[in-house]
Amino acid sequence: MPIQKTSFRLTQKLKEKAADIQAILNDLYPETPIPLKHEDSYTLLVAVLLSAQCTDERVNQISPTLFARANNPADMAEVPVDEIREIIKPCGLSPAKSKAISNLSKIIMDKHDGKVPESFEELEALPGVGHKTASVVMSQAFGHPAFPVDTHIHRLAARWGLSSGKNVEQTEYDLKTIFPKDSWNKLHLQIIYFGRQYCPARGHDKEQCPICSKYG
């Protein structure tokens, strides 16, 4: 990620707010299972790719069928793109996603000895894999510190006054500045879970939200 400046001044008050928000999230979500069904780094990579502009729930309905057909890059590379496309059609963007799944599987076989690469640079070089997808794989499959930020986390960070970034890249940089590095992998999942339960984009009851009732 290019060097950026934070979109705010990191004051003591902001540090205290962030610590309080993190304490609320830790209390509500001490355990943070990965929402997407997967078996290993490869199936997680494919599942995250499928989740673009699609709900995790829908991906979890579709991915078992895909992985029953092929759950490793060697087998997936042999599946016709049209067959992949037909299976994943309910996830949306199936023409692009099916080509990406097929091509990245072939690249993993040809360039990475059949193993999902364990670096941002190599992951982001794969078809259909952007920084957010690479961040999820690096953090959840390999345990490297990362803070995957999607549009939902971007929205919540702005709502809670933790970032005034104009895009997810700036928001990611801001959140990494505010929160301890050893909390990033868990925290991004906690924010996702919290947003679904208490802080939706529409129909949000501020007074019933444990964070927005204090900071929203």
| The pLDDT value given to residue 11 | 86
Residues 18-75: tens digit of each pLDDT: 999 999 999 999 999 999 999 999 999 999 999 999 999 999 999 999 999 999 999 9
Residue tagged active-site, from 17, 75, 99, 150: 150
Four-CA torsion 52, 127, 120, 48, nearest 10 degrees: 30
150 is catalytic: yes
Residues 140-183: tens digit of each pLDDT: 999 999 999 999 999 999 999 999 999 999 999 999 999 999 99
| 130 has a pLDDT exceeding 60 | yes
82 is catalytic: no
Q: What is the DSSP letter of 40?
A: S
With b for 16 or more beta-carbon neighbours within 10 A and e for fewer, the 191-211 pattern comes to: bbbbbeebbeeeeeeeeebbb
pTM: 0.90
Domain locations in the chain as residue ranges: 12-31+147-215, 41-141
Q: Which fold has domain 12-31+147-215?
A: Endonuclease Iii, domain 2 (1.10.1670)
Q: How many residues does the chain have?
A: 216
| The pLDDT value given to residue 216 | 65
Torsion sign over Cα 189, 194, 197, 200: negative
Residue tagged active-site, from 17, 97, 132, 186: 132
Angle at alpha carbon of residue 29, lines to 28 and 32, rounded to 5°: 170
State mean pLDDT over 112-131: 97
d(CA 158, CA 152): 10
Q: Which fold has domain 41-141?
A: Endonuclease III; domain 1 (1.10.340)
| The pLDDT value given to residue 9 | 74
